[in-house]
A and B are shown apart, each in its own frame.
Chain A
Amino acid sequence: MLVDFKNLGAHRNWVILFVLGSLASMAWYASASRGAMDWPSGASAPGLTFGIIAGLLILFEFLLWPRKTLFRVWRIGRTQVWMRAHIWLGLLTVPLIVLHSWRELGGALTTTLVALFAVVIASGIWGLVVQQFLPRAMLAQVPAETIYTQIGGVIEGFRQEARLLVTGVRGELSAESGAGATATVAANFAVLENAFATVIEPYLSTASRGGSLLANGARAVNFFRGLRDQLPIGVHPTIDRLETFCEQRRQFALQARLHFWLHNWLWIHLPLSAALVVLMLVHVVVALKFW
């Protein structure tokens, strides 16, 4: 979800809620601590209130996941509204939890809770930040973007098509050179075939893990320029086609990297959120038992 000046209007009310909620909680806490012997604990009036509100908000935050996965048909509110609420109410839990547990990490349970909460918040903020920049970067830098899960299949298609192209070059070379230039044709084909076999095809292999000179755009341009210099002009369209395949292959590699940073923070955010909710419920029970 983008949070910028263009769509600030949609976020405005949530931003106001976040700012006012944070300020009000800090003001109440400061007021309660004035004249007190110590900072109000999590069991005090403000501390307990903040804890309850933050707990309910955390439960609401966690409901985004079933909303997006389980309740696709039975839509309770727009997903965009849910996402905005998720962002700003999630940020609001930060001052609430800080004030609820002010200066006390406590025992193993609460320390674990604080650690989980910190990582969940940090990963969420990271996800929000990368969502502001990476999709636009992908749009600008990966015009050949395809479906992420199909990248392998598309590249394999490129490889097969490239092989067909290279195989068909021999006939083109023969037609162009005439009946008496068999050796020249063979030599030219050998150049192309060697280049394809050693450089182009490995790069177009889905198993490729990088290290190819074609992974670098400038070096690829030089490579194909050199190839054009060595081969007759009749082969150039084929070479152009091969270069296009390699260019798209580079874009898919970039797409994969961007996709990794854009989505894989959820591997941290979601599981730890689940653990956070479970331990938070445990904390509620034991805190009320021994407070």
Chain B
Amino acid sequence: MPLRETAKQRAKRIDGRVLDGSRWLERGRFLLAGVAAIVAIGWWGLGMTFRRADAWTSPGPVAAVHATWANDCNACHTDYQAIRGDALLASSDARAVADQKCQKCHAVAHKDDLLGPFGHHALTGNDFQLGCTTCHQEHRGTSQSLARTADGNCTMCHARDDLAKLVKGTPAVADLKVVTQFSATGHPFFRSLGDPELGPASPKQVPRKLKFAQFSHQLHMMPGMARDSDHQAVWTLGQLAEADRARYAKKGQSLSEPVQLECGSCHQSESRGIERTKTGEASDASPPGNSSGAYMLPVVYENQCRACHPLTIEPCADDAAKPCDTVPHRLTPAKLAEEVEKYWQDRYFKDHPTLQRRLLPLPGSSQDVEYQDASDWVREQSRQSATHLNRVCGKCHQFTDEAAREQPRQRPASADELIDAIIPRVAPVEIPRKLLAHARFDHAAHRAVDCAACHQDAYPAKSSGDKLSDSEPNESSLMIANRDKCRECHSPRQEDAASSRGGARFDCAECHRYHNPAAAPSRETGTIGN
């Protein structure tokens, strides 16, 4: 048991001066605190001396694309001016100065742009205090993609019911549906492909009108591209010119076998690139193009149509052994008339080699009569050629005056009559390069997907039999799958016992661009044709 010392005993034992003992504990802490403060100041001072302080200040590495300015804060920042999207004290002037620094390299709008300063729809106000940094936030690592912004940057406007009030002008905006995410309920069908929920007769439907008289994908995808009354293939390899057979023939195919087109027979990726020769003929011996392959090259008559649809100057049999004479494509009516007339003139002199051509025949001379006969003959043949070409061109093209298609023909008294009366003007073909007006689609990224997956309607149905319509409605859907086909892959990953779907990215930036000038309707189609 411990023995307790009395207070008196303790008082005798302990020296009273002990209360004045060393305060080393306090002094030691004071000194250490001073050392710590000095170390902190010294650390920062060294950083400033060796130009590391800015790097220590940076909240995170800049994106790799901006690595050049990683140690130059003033490349983007202005001292003591807030530029961060949500900064409390950021002024519009400060943001404008910061935006100018971005736009030294990234010009997002054009001087004559009808859209706002960022190449997108101009807003009626600036409640969102929009600036570059509103959507593009740096200092989030070297591997971040500054262009791939969060969906919230888009839905802050597009999820609002009163979107039309936010945007200046542009009546089309009034029809925009609310978009919250890429889902069946959060994203509408793609307007430029037609909304299946509206129905074809709806005034709100925005179908594409291809001013092309007759064309049927399904017909062209059949072997031989049609069957005659004897169920024989209409078009065989033997009927192609020898120069064209190599392109359309499959390995081991005989000349009597039907031509079987594939998607790639006409639609080729931009990355391939097909050059034209000086005469406008397509050349297969062309190097790959420099394009990414996102879109397809335009279908050009000389490359994709001419082999089966030659512009023969007169009716002739489809016999590869005796190729017919043709006229070039895409001639103006005046040029076409000139070409036709010249052809028959050459033909006449070829058939009448003894006839001497004189520039100025003497009136009344026998040669004048012969010349008049030749002129009449040429004009008659030209009329027949024009009538024939009327049918040939009209096989595919619409005319500006459709009533003139079946107009009775008289021998034209002059070349001008030939042009105006017999050869109607072909309406401009408007086949857009990009069919998705407000989104970006990359065929190269989808090269593992079969064409039929999204363009199923282009293939002949099994029940179509031998005969198919020669034409597809011009104002129909574009045989391009709409939203739900995309969602098979571009949706959250789902797996069950039977199958799996989804997993591809489905954020807004995957398909849409904010600054894309293509967002302006006036620029988007880039139609080809005349």
Q: Among A36, A275, A286, A289, which residue has its beta carbon within 8 angstroms of that of B40?
A: A275
> B26 to A69, Cβ gap below 8 A?
yes
> Which of B36, B58, B137 is in CB contact (< 8 Å) with A107?
B58
B21 touches A150 (CB 8 A): yes
B88, A45: Cβ atoms under 8 Å? yes
Given known A-B contacts A267-B32, A274-B33, A274-B37, A107 and B21 have beta carbons under 8 A apart: no
Stretch of A176-184, A191-199, A240-248 lying at the B interface: A240-248
The smallest C-beta distance from A239 to any residue of chain B, in angstroms, reads: 11
**CB of B146 to closest CB in A, whole Å:** 14
A residues in contact with B21, CB < 8 Å: 147, 149-150
| Residues in B neighbouring A43, C-beta threshold 8 A | 82, 84, 86-90
Which chain A residues border B59 with CB–CB below 8 Å? 104, 106-107, 110
Contacts known (A107-B58, A271-B29, A278-B40); A288 close to B4, Cβ less than 8 A: no
* Of B49-57, B262-270, B350-358, B385-393, the one touching chain A: B49-57
Is the pair A149, B32 in contact by a Cβ cutoff of 8 Å? no
A248 touches B5 (CB 8 A): yes
Find out whether the CB atom of A154 lies under 8 angstroms from the CB atom of B14: yes
Is residue A258 contacting chain B, with contact meaning CB distance below 8 A? no
Q: Would you call B57 and A107 a contact (CB within 8 A)? A: yes
Q: Max chain A CB contacts within 10 Å: which of B32, B35, B88?
A: B88
CA distance A288 to B87 in the complex (A): 11
A244 and B2 contact, CB distance less than 8 A? yes
A77 on the B face (CB < 8 A) = no
**Size bracket of the A interface:** 35 or more
Q: Do B152 and A274 have beta carbons less than 8 Å apart?
A: no
Closest A residue to B4 using CB positions: A143
Contact B32 A270 (CB under 8 A): yes
Residue pair A279, B40 in contact (C-beta under 8 Å): yes
Once the chains are docked, how many angstroms separate the CA of A103 from the CA of B108? 31
Which residues B121-178 have CB closer than 8 A to chain A? Answer: 135, 137, 150, 152-153, 156
Residues on A with C-beta less than 8 A from B227 are none
Any chain A CB within 8 A of the CB of B68?
no
Instruction: Verify if B18 is at the interface (C-beta below 8 Å from A).
Output: yes
Contact pattern, A 130-168, Cβ under 8 Å of B = 1, otherwise 0: 000000000000011011011001100100010000000
Residues of B within 8 A of A219 (CB): none
Asked, given contacts A45-B88, A147-B18, whether A289 binds B80 with beta carbons under 8 Å apart, the answer is yes
A38 touches B152 (CB 8 A): yes
Closest residue to B39 on the A side, CB-wise?
A275
In the complex, whether A5 has a CB less than 8 A from a CB of chain B is no
The answer to whether B88 touches A48 (Cβ under 8 A) is yes
Given the known A-B contacts A41-B84, A69-B30, are A153 and B18 also in contact in the complex, defined by CB atoms under 8 Å? yes
Contact A44 B86 (CB under 8 A): yes
CA of A154 to CA of B18, assembled, Å: 10
Taking a contact as CB atoms closer than 8 A, the residue among A107, A154, A244, A271 that contacts B35 in the complex is: A271
Interface residues of B in 80-118 (CB under 8 A from A): 80, 82-90
**Beta-carbon contact of B37 and A36 below 8 Å:** no
Complex interface: chain A residues within 8 A of B82 (CB): 43, 291
How far does the alpha carbon of A291 sit from the alpha carbon of B55 in the complex, in Å?
14
Interface set, chain B 1-39, CB cutoff 8 A to A:
2-5, 10, 13-15, 18-19, 21-22, 25-26, 28-30, 32-37, 39
- Assuming the contacts A36-B152, A37-B150, A108-B56, asked whether A274 and B34 have C-beta atoms less than 8 A apart, the reply is yes
Is B73 at the interface (CB under 8 A from chain A)?
Answer: yes
Q: Chain B residues with Cβ under 8 A from A263's Cβ?
A: 25
- A186 interfacial by beta-carbon distance below 8 Å: no
CB-CB contacts below 8 Å: B203-225 with A:
none
Q: Is the C-beta of A125 less than 8 angstroms from some C-beta in chain B?
A: no
Could you tell me the distance in whole angstroms from the C-beta of B427 to the nearest C-beta in chain A? 48
A90 is an interface residue with CB less than 8 A from chain B: no
Residues on the A chain within 8 Å of B37, using CB: 274-275, 277-278
Q: Which of B33, B135, B153 contacts A270 (CB 8 A)?
A: B33
Q: Which of chain B's residues have a CB closer than 8 A to the CB of A272? A: 36
A109 near B57 (CB under 8 angstroms)?
yes
Contact B13 A157 (CB under 8 A): yes
Chain B hits for A150, CB < 8 A: 14-15, 18, 21
Q: How far is the CB of B33 from chain A (nearest CB, A)?
A: 4
Return chain A residues, CB-CB under 8 Å to B33.
65, 270-271, 273-274
Shortest Cβ distance from B82 into chain A, in angstroms? 5
Determine if B36 and A274 form an interchain contact, defined as CB atoms under 8 angstroms apart: yes
Residue B512 lies at the interface, judged by CB distance under 8 Å to chain A: no
Q: Which residues of B contact A274 (CB under 8 A)?
A: 33-34, 36-37, 40
Residues in A with CB closer than 8 Å to B89 are 43, 48
With A106-B59, A267-B32, A279-B44: A291-B84 Cβ-Cβ less than 8 Å: yes
CB distance from A117 to the nearest CB of B (A): 13
> Is the CB of B528 closer than 8 A to any CB of chain A?
no
Q: Does A282 contact B (CB under 8 A)?
A: yes
A266 part of interface (Cβ distance < 8 Å):
yes
Considering the chains assembled together, what is the distance between the CA atoms of A211 and B18 in angstroms? Answer: 29
Residues of B within 8 A of A108 (CB): 55-56
Using A110-B59, A270-B33 as known contacts, say yes or no to A291 and B137 having CB atoms under 8 A apart: no
Task: Report the minimum CB–CB distance from A65 to chain B (whole Å).
Answer: 8
* Chain B residues closer than 8 Å to A247, beta-carbon distance: 2-3
Indicate whether B60 reaches chain A with its CB closer than 8 angstroms: yes
State the CA gap A75–B441 with chains docked (Å).
Answer: 75
List the A side residues contacting B32 at CB < 8 Å: 267, 270-271
Q: With CB as the reference atom, state the residue of chain B lying closest to A269.
A: B29
Q: Does B41 contact A (CB under 8 A)?
A: yes
In the complex where A45-B88, A106-B60 touch, is A37 in contact with B156 (Cβ < 8 A)? yes
Minimal Cβ-Cβ distance residue in A for B134: A37
In the assembled complex, the CB of B229 is this many whole angstroms from the nearest CB of chain A, namely: 66
Query: A74 in the interface, Cβ–Cβ < 8 Å?
Result: no
CA of A108 to CA of B135 in the docked complex: distance in angstroms? Answer: 25
Interface residues of B in 174-218 (CB under 8 A from A): none
Given contacts A104-B59, A108-B56, are A37 and B2 in contact (CB under 8 A)? Answer: no
Chain B interface (Cβ within 8 Å of chain A)?
2-5, 10, 13-15, 18-19, 21-22, 25-26, 28-30, 32-37, 39-41, 44, 53, 55-60, 73, 77, 79-80, 82-90, 135, 137, 150, 152-153, 156
Known pairs A37-B135, A48-B89, A291-B82; list 11 more (Cβ under 8 Å): A47-B88, A143-B2, A150-B21, A154-B13, A161-B13, A247-B2, A270-B33, A274-B34, A279-B44, A289-B80, A290-B57
For this complex, 15 residue pairs linking A to B, each with C-beta atoms less than 8 Å apart, are A37-B135, A44-B87, A48-B87, A107-B57, A107-B58, A143-B2, A157-B13, A244-B3, A248-B2, A263-B25, A271-B35, A275-B37, A279-B44, A287-B57, A290-B79
Instruction: Rank and list the top 9 A-B pairs by shortest CB-CB distance, nearest first.
Output: A37-B152, A271-B36, A244-B3, A108-B56, A106-B59, A43-B87, A247-B2, A274-B33, A278-B40
